Amino acid sequence: MTSTDAPERRYSLAIVQQPKRAKATTDQGREVRPVEPYPILRLRVQYLDPGFMVQVTLYDETGREERAIIPPDPSAPGAPPCNNMQLGTNVVHGSYVRDLDDRFGCFFCFANIRVRLPGRYCLRFSLMQVPRGQEHSEPTRILQHVDSNTFRVYASTRDYPGTVPTSELAKKLAKQIPGISIRNKGLLAADYDSDGDAAADDGGPAPT
């Protein structure tokens, strides 16, 4: 029996904002467009304890094969043994904040997930907890995991269909969680290049 098959399940982790698309992040490219809208998860738990965290891992579109690491290229002498395909924040601690109905909940916001190569992927979110009194130790097991919908990573800005409008939930959570950026006057913090200048938008239509 795995940890996710416990007879008395006290945890319910759900994705309340699904990812839709991203632009491939290259070492040469200045423009950065992380996965958007950024995934938001909510944890419902019978007994509220501190120490909950969620780890995200990139998978192929079937959810069967992990894609967080690029395997080495045998035809490229001197190439590194592997490269990270998944960039940005991969572990988020729970934030106890108010939702759109002004009720407290435990939320996990992944506002900076980037992918190196174009393609179709999904994200696996794994719920873990550091035992009480062992805050400086590593979590020992996965309590539950959930997979996102499939999303597409585009190769270039020309192909990118446009940024996704910020949801009301994301706006509400951003006011309560430090370090979470949302669209401000039409731009995201991630839409600025490394020199602080606004990156060009392709003007594509936003999804409905």
Query: Would the pLDDT of 82 be above 90?
Result: no
Residues 179 and 5: their CA atoms lie apart, in Å, by 34
pLDDT tens readout for residues 134-170: 666 666 678 999 999 999 999 988 899 988 999 999 9
Burial class (CB in 10 A: 0-12, 13-18, 19+), 97: middle
pLDDT in the model for residue 187: 36
Mean pLDDT throughout 91-96? 92
Pick the range with the lowest mean pLDDT from 39-43, 53-57, 198-202. Answer: 198-202
Given a contact cutoff of 8 angstroms between Cβ atoms, the answer to whether 143 and 129 are in contact is yes
Instruction: At 137, give phi and psi (nearest 5°).
Output: -100, 170
Mean pLDDT throughout 56-70? 94
Pick the range with the lowest mean pLDDT from 22-31, 44-53, 62-71, 116-125. Answer: 22-31
Spell out the domains of the chain, with CATH numbers in brackets. Answer: 3-191 (2.60.40.3960)
Q: Is this prediction's pTM over 0.85?
A: no
Residue whose pair of structure tokens reads 């070492």 in the numeric block: 27
Nearest CA to 121 out of 207, 34, 59, 68 is that of 59
Given a contact cutoff of 8 angstroms between Cβ atoms, the answer to whether 192 and 185 are in contact is no
Q: What is the pLDDT confidence band of residue 203, given thresholds at 50, 70 and 90?
A: very low
182 vs 189, residue with greater confidence = 182
Nearest CA to 22 out of 38, 35, 32, 31 is that of 35
Mean pLDDT throughout 9-31? 83
- CB atoms under 10 Å from CB of 126, counted, come to 19
